[in-house]
Amino acid sequence: MLPVFVVLFLVSYGLMTLLVVEQGRTIDNQRSLIQSLFDDSSKLAQLRMKNQQAQAQAQAGAKAHSQVQTPSTQDKPRANAKHDSIGKLPKPPKPPTDTATMEDERRSVMRI
């Protein structure tokens, strides 16, 4: 009976060693994948910054070009003082505060 236990003991340690080696490989592969994703993310962030800078320069150039061709708008009174900044949309109206009486049509409420 003792030789059977010794063989089972050696087989179980062999399998455990194989498991540890495979886990090490998996961890190394995940580490390299994370490093690759981090590098890609940093490159993407740099590209976005360059794109934003290019857009800002283009807008500044277009604004300077439009100010040269058109007279200043500072002399004219504003037609709508509510919208101070150009391109900014007005805030949407707030939903009604009494939502207890309103039920969402997408949900079916079951009560027991």
Could you tell me the pLDDT band of residue 43, with boundaries at 50, 70 and 90? very high
Residues whose CB is less than 8 angstroms from the CB of residue 78 and which lie 6 or more positions away in sequence, other chains included: 84
26-61 burial code (b ≥16 CB/10 A, e <16): eeeeeeeeeeeeeeeeeeeeeeeeeeeeeeeeeeee
74 in a domain, yes or no? no
Answer yes or no: are the C-beta atoms of 35 and 28 closer than 8 Å.
no
Average pLDDT over residues 29-36: 96
Query: 90 or 13, which is more confident?
Result: 13
37 in a domain, yes or no? yes
Q: Give me the pLDDT at residue 27, please.
A: 97
64 in a domain, yes or no? yes
Q: Is the pLDDT of residue 68 over 80?
A: no
Q: Give me the pLDDT at residue 47, please.
A: 95
Q: CA-based diameter of the chain, in Å?
A: 104
Count of the separate structural domains present in the chain: 1
85 in a domain, yes or no? no
**26: domain range?**
11-68
Q: Give me the pLDDT at residue 37, please.
A: 96
Helix or strand holding residue 44 (H, E) = helix 2-69
94 in a domain, yes or no? no
Query: 43 or 63, which is more confident?
Result: 43
The per-residue pLDDT for range 73-110, each reduced to its tens digit, is 555 555 555 545 566 777 777 766 665 555 555 666 66
40 in a domain, yes or no? yes
Distance CA 27, CA 20 (A): 10
76 in a domain, yes or no? no
28 in a domain, yes or no? yes
- Which residue type, as a one-letter code, is found at position 25? R
C-alpha separations of 87 from 38, 83, 92 in Å: 35, 9, 15
